[in-house]
Amino acid sequence: MTTPFRVEARPAPDGVLLAMSDQAATAVTGLFQLVVAVLGRGLLAPTLLRPSGPGSARELVDQLFPDAYPVPADAARFRDRHGAVMRAEVLAATRRVLERWRGAGTAVLDQRAVDDWLMVTGVAQFLFVERTKDVPPGQSESTESAQQRTLAALRSEIMRAACPELTPELRPVFARYCAVPSTWSN
Amino acid sequence: MDTGRRNGSTRRADTPCVAWLVDVVDDDVNTMLGVTYVLHRWCGLAVPDAARLMIQVNDAGSAEVARFDTQDEAERLVVRLATQGLHATVRSAG
């Protein structure tokens, strides 16, 4: 019998207390290991292939870090200047998270660890979805975005715990947008 | 060459006359909470100001979140925001 998928985070005296079910921890570990495979070894895992998605690891990495300039030549020069650093930072953060967390059911994250978790989850989302979704009306989102939803839920939990003042500040904003179709969720 | 003499003042030749702006661009993935948090944490914005800019990103498609005297400084922030999962861009105001 499997445990239900559960991720919770709460403020703690030393930072953020993160708790996960075994199922969630296994899933999240797998997602982070994919990040290491892509950024560390340049691998395009079969699970990341999708009909309209990137055809190579290089394209996938470019998708993770979108153009910083509208002119392609300027964007290319930006990648030349900063691409390696960005990939290295995210890879290093992912390795730190995996090394320190080791899939534990509970963990206390200090600010540095919170920053690492949010960096990894923030970038890793784009392994599974593109920034602009193109889901025709009436059709459900493709199954691979379940991984992105897992990462998004994890991000939200950690952010709310790390910065509790966000929730009361954003509640009226959420209320304003709930009635309006929006691509941004709570 | 314009030496920048205005009302008796002079401007150094290397005084930047172009501002470099960083914009955050909307996408279909990042949440309102996520964008607000990143702007608060990494752009030095108070939560209400970060929320206000997030709403602008959502409503208008993008928002200027910072401006710098040099392109290098602007690109450093873009790198920071990109490694947090946001789409940020650089443009000059001059």
Q: Are A116 and A97 in contact (CB under 8 A)?
A: yes
Return the CA Rg of chain B: 16
Residue in B47, B58, B85 nearest the CB of A184: B58
Q: Where are the alpha helices (DSSP H) in B11-92?
A: 32-42, 47-60, 71-82
Residue in B28, B31, B83 nearest the CB of A186: B31
Contact state of A122 with B79 under an 8 Å Cβ cutoff: no
Tens-place pLDDT, residues A8-25: 999 999 899 999 999 999
At residue A48, the 3 state secondary structure works out as helix
The residues in A 82-101 lying below 8 A from B, measured between CB atoms, are: 82, 85-86, 89-90
Counting one residue from chain A and one from chain B, the pairs whose CB atoms sit within 8 A come to 114
Residue in A82, A90, A170 nearest the CB of B36: A170
At residue B52, the 3 state secondary structure works out as helix
Q: How far apart (Å, rounded) are the C-alpha atoms in residues A95 and A1?
A: 30
At residue B20, the 3 state secondary structure works out as strand
Give residue A48's pLDDT band: very low, low, confident or very high (50, 70, 90).
Answer: low
Contact state of B38 with A122 under an 8 Å Cβ cutoff: yes
ipTM score here? 0.86
The closest of A93, A149, A87, A146 to A117, measured between CA atoms, is A93
pTM over 0.90: no
At residue B51, what is the residue type?
A
- Do the strands B62-68 and B20-25 form a parallel or antiparallel pair, or are they unpaired? antiparallel
Kindly provide the b/e burial profile for residues B15-35, where b requires at least 16 CB atoms within 10 angstroms of the residue's own CB.
eeeeebbbbbbbbebbbbbbb
Give residue A63's pLDDT band: very low, low, confident or very high (50, 70, 90).
Answer: confident
At residue A41, what is the residue type?
R
Work out the mean pLDDT of chain A and round it to a whole number: 85
Tens-place pLDDT, residues A99-118: 999 999 999 999 999 999 99
Please name the residue that has the structure tokens 């661009």.
Answer: B25
Q: How far apart (Å, rounded) are the C-alpha atoms in residues A70 and B62?
A: 13
Tens-place pLDDT, residues B18-68: 899 999 999 999 999 999 999 999 999 999 999 999 999 999 999 999 999
**A57-64 and A72-101 are packed helices; what angle lies between their axes, rounded to 10 degrees?**
90
For residue B84, give how far its alpha carbon lies from the nearest alpha carbon of chain A (Å): 5
Residues on B contacting A at a C-beta cutoff of 8 Å: 25, 27-38, 40-41, 47-48, 51, 54-55, 58, 75, 78-79, 82-91
